[in-house]
Structures are given as structure tokens and as C-alpha cells.
Structure 1
Amino acid sequence: MELYKFNKDSGKKISKFNSDFIMSRVIQTDKVTHIGCMHLDENGIVGYHQAIVPQLLLIMSGEGYVRGKKEEFIKVQTGDAVFWEKDEWHETKTSDGLTAIVIESEELNPSFFMPLKK
């Protein structure tokens, strides 16, 4: 399991075309990619299971806890991204609720675009 950041501080200012915004790049793929939005309510859980393909979880709002093969949970919050390799065991849970974008593809390499969370 790897933890990344996609918050405003990790983005790049865009001014092309008379624009004025910050873009935090996340991923680029050439292969088929599934992108979904996951809504976990209060005490929600995505049970412990193996990733079928590499998976990237982008926390959009709220906070919760994730774990890989180890039983140690790590806190995640808005602006954090969690990456699991294919076949990696993992789990996500929350006390208060969270919303996340899930990106699944055979070809994911978030380290090209996002800094690791320290």
C-alpha cells in the first residue's frame, strides 16, 4: 500500500488560455480503466479483500482508515490517495462517512503524477 497526496499544495498553477486555477494531476492510462464514486455512510466499510486489478482510492470528502495486509489501520482524509497493487489485500472503513473516487486499471502508476504522503 502506498499513500499519495492530490491536495491543492501538490498541484501546479495553470494560466494557459487566460486560466487561473491549480491542477493536481492524478493518473494517466492507455488501457481500459474503470472510474467510480464510492459513498460510505457513517460506520461504512469496504470489507477486507484482494484487489482484482491495481486500484487507486481518492478521498474527496470525509475521513476514514485504510489498511493493507497488515492489521494496522492508517488514517486518511480529504486530499489523500491510497494505491493498492493487484492481488493486494486491503480494507477501508469510516466512523463519520467518506466519499471517494475509485480508479481501477491494469495500468496505474500514481507515482508519475502525485507526491507520496509523508
Structure 2
Amino acid sequence: MKFYKFDNETGKKITIFNSNFVMSRIIQTEKGSNIGCMHLDPGGVIGYHQAVAPQLLLIMVGEGYVRGEKDEYFKVRAGDAVFWTKDEWHETKTDGGLTAIVIESEELDPSIYMTEIKLIKF
């Protein structure tokens, strides 16, 4: 399990074409990708299971806790990204609610665009 940031501070200011915004690049794939949005109500959980493909979870709203194969939880919040490799066991849960985008693809490598960070165990 690896952690990344995609918040405003990690992005790049874009001004071309009279633009004024920050772009945080996330991923690029050549092969097919599955992209979905998960909505967890307060007390929601994505149960402990193996990733069917490399998987990147992007926390958009709210906060929660993730774990990998060890029974150690890490707190995540909006702007955090979590990466699991194929077949890696993992779980996501929230007390107050959470919305996340999930990207699954055989060729995911978030380190191309994002810098890995360290989170403290909860």
C-alpha cells in the first residue's frame, strides 16, 4: 500500500489560453481502465478483499481509514490517494462518510505523476 497527494498544493498552476487553475495529474494508461465513484454513508465500509487489478483510490470528500494486509489503519482525507497492487488485501471504512474515485487498470503507476507520501498509523 502506498499513499500519494493530489490536492491543490501538489498541482501545477495552468495559465495557458488565459486559464487560471491548478492541475494535479493523476494517471495515464494505454490499456483499458475501470473508473468509478464510491459513496460511503457514515459507518460505511468497503470490506476486506483482494484487489482484482492494481487500484488507485482518490479520496474526494470526507475522511476515513484504510488498511492493507496488516491490521494497521491509516487515516485518509480529501486530497489523499491510496494505491494497492493486484491481489493485495485491503479495506476502506469511514465514520462520517466518504466519496472516492477508484481507478483500476493492469498498468497503473501513480508514481509517474504523484509523489509518494508517508501517513501515520491510526
Task: For 1:54 and 1:67, locate their aligned partners in 2 and report how far apart those are by CA, in whole Å.
Answer: 15
Q: What value does the CA root-mean-square deviation take over the aligned residues?
A: 0.5
Normalized against structure 2, the TM-score is what?
A: 0.95
After TM superposition, give the deviation of residue 75 of structure 1 in Å. Answer: 0.2
Kindly tell me the number of residue pairs found equivalent between the two proteins.
118
Task: State the partner residue of 2:82.
Answer: 82
Task: For 1:115 and 1:5, locate their aligned partners in 2 and report how far apart those are by CA, in whole Å.
Answer: 7
Task: State the partner residue of 1:57.
Answer: 57
Identity among equivalent positions (%) equals 69
Q: Which runs of 4+ in 1 moved over 6 A?
A: none
After TM superposition, give the deviation of residue 84 of structure 1 in Å. Answer: 0.1
Task: For 2:26 and 2:64, locate their aligned partners in 1 and report how far apart those are by CA, in whole Å.
Answer: 20
After TM superposition, give the deviation of residue 115 of structure 1 in Å. Answer: 1.3
SS in 1 for 2:111: helix
SS in 2 for 1:65: strand
**What amino acid is the match of 2:2?**
E
Task: For 2:74 and 2:86, locate their aligned partners in 1 and report how far apart those are by CA, in whole Å.
Answer: 20
**What amino acid is the match of 1:30?**
E
After TM superposition, give the deviation of residue 117 of structure 1 in Å. Answer: 2.0
SS in 1 for 2:117: coil
Task: For 2:9 and 2:100, locate their aligned partners in 1 and report how far apart those are by CA, in whole Å.
Answer: 19
Task: For 1:100 and 1:41, locate their aligned partners in 2 and report how far apart those are by CA, in whole Å.
Answer: 12
SS in 1 for 2:108: coil
Normalized against structure 1, the TM-score is what?
A: 0.98
1:5-45 residue CA offsets vs partner (Å, 9 max, x unmatched): 00000000011111111000000000000000000001000
1:42-72 residue CA offsets vs partner (Å, 9 max, x unmatched): 1000000000000000000000000000000
- 2:89 aligned with 1:100, yes or no? no
**What amino acid is the match of 1:99?**
T
Task: For 2:52 and 2:101, locate their aligned partners in 1 and report how far apart those are by CA, in whole Å.
Answer: 17
**What amino acid is the match of 2:17?**
F
Task: For 1:11 and 1:100, locate their aligned partners in 2 and report how far apart those are by CA, in whole Å.
Answer: 19
Task: For 2:61 and 2:116, locate their aligned partners in 1 and report how far apart those are by CA, in whole Å.
Answer: 19
